[in-house]
């Protein structure tokens, strides 16, 4: 049971890290857009994907 739990947590960590990198890339590639449009895109993405915590983490 312990090994399975470790594997699950490891996969979760990898997935969270991938999501963080992906959103960071979105932010970087969106900087050339008008601020309002970029913010709107990120807001919609955050709502649909439920990753607001990552956006807040980057914003800190």
What does the pLDDT read at residue 45? 67
Domain residue spans of the chain:
2-59
50: left (phi over 0), alpha (psi -120 to 50) or beta: left
Instruction: Annotate 5-47 with DSSP letters as a single string.
Output: HHHHHHHHHHHHHHHHHHHHHHHHHHTTS-HHHHHHHHHHHHH
What does the pLDDT read at residue 25? 81
pLDDT (mean) for 22-30: 77
Tokens 């932010």 found at? 27
Residues 8-24 pLDDT 10s:
888 888 888 888 888 88
Whether pLDDT at 3 is above 70: no
């Amino acid at each position: 049971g312990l090994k399975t739990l470790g594997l699950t947590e490891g996969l979760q960590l990898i997935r969270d890290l991938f999501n963080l990198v992906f959103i960071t890339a979105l932010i970087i590639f969106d900087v050339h857009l008008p601020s309002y449009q970029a913010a709107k895109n990120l807001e919609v993405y955050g709502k649909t994907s439920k990753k607001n915590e990552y956006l807040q983490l980057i914003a800190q």
